[in-house]
């Protein structure tokens, strides 16, 4: 006889904030400084090298993979513990 485990509700959806990315090179540096200061009211910013940006994207990809796989494993368990419905010859469901 199988132990019946109630399926609990999943956590609420993530609420992510938008971010603005600036790609700056010699070609648009002056323009960037001007527009950035105008928009943000300061000329200080956090810079990321291209390599670090790639690493950051890979890190996000890894986290995304983990979340997705974790979700699939939960789905697997939910299906595994779900009560099985059998139809008998007379059409009644057990």
Partner 1 sequence: MIKIYLFLIIMGVIGGVGYGGYMYYKDTQERIAILTDNNAKLEVAAQLQEETINTMIEDVQRNAELNKELQRELQIAEGYGDQLRATLQKHNLTHLANKKPGLIERKMQNATNRLWDDLADITNPNGVQPDTTGKGSDGNKGSENGNTDSSKTEASPTK
d(C-alpha 80, C-alpha 83), whole Å: 8
Q: How many residues does the chain have?
A: 94
24 touches partner 1 by CB under 8 A: yes
Among 4, 6, 27, 41, binds partner 1 (CB under 8 A): 27
Considering only residues 32 to 61 of the shown chain, the ones binding partner 1 according to CB under 8 A are 50-51, 53-54, 56-58, 60-61
**Nearer of residues 43 and 62 to partner 1, judged by Cβ:** 62
Is the CB of 42 or the CB of 80 nearer to partner 1? 80
Which two three-digit tokens encode residue 46? 């956090």
With 0-12 / 13-18 / 19 or more C-beta atoms within 10 angstroms meaning exposed / middle / buried, residue 76 is exposed
């Amino acid at each position: 006889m199988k132990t019946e485990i109630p399926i609990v509700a999943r956590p609420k959806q993530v609420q992510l904030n938008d971010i603005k990315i600036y790609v700056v090179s010699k070609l648009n540096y002056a323009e960037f400084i001007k527009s950035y200061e105008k928009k943000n009211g300061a000329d200080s910013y956090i810079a990321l090298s291209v390599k670090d940006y790639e690493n950051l994207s890979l890190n996000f990809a890894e986290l995304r993979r983990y979340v997705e796989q974790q979700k699939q494993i939960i789905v697997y368990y939910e299906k595994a513990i779900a009560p099985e419905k059998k139809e008998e010859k007379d059409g009644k469901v057990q």
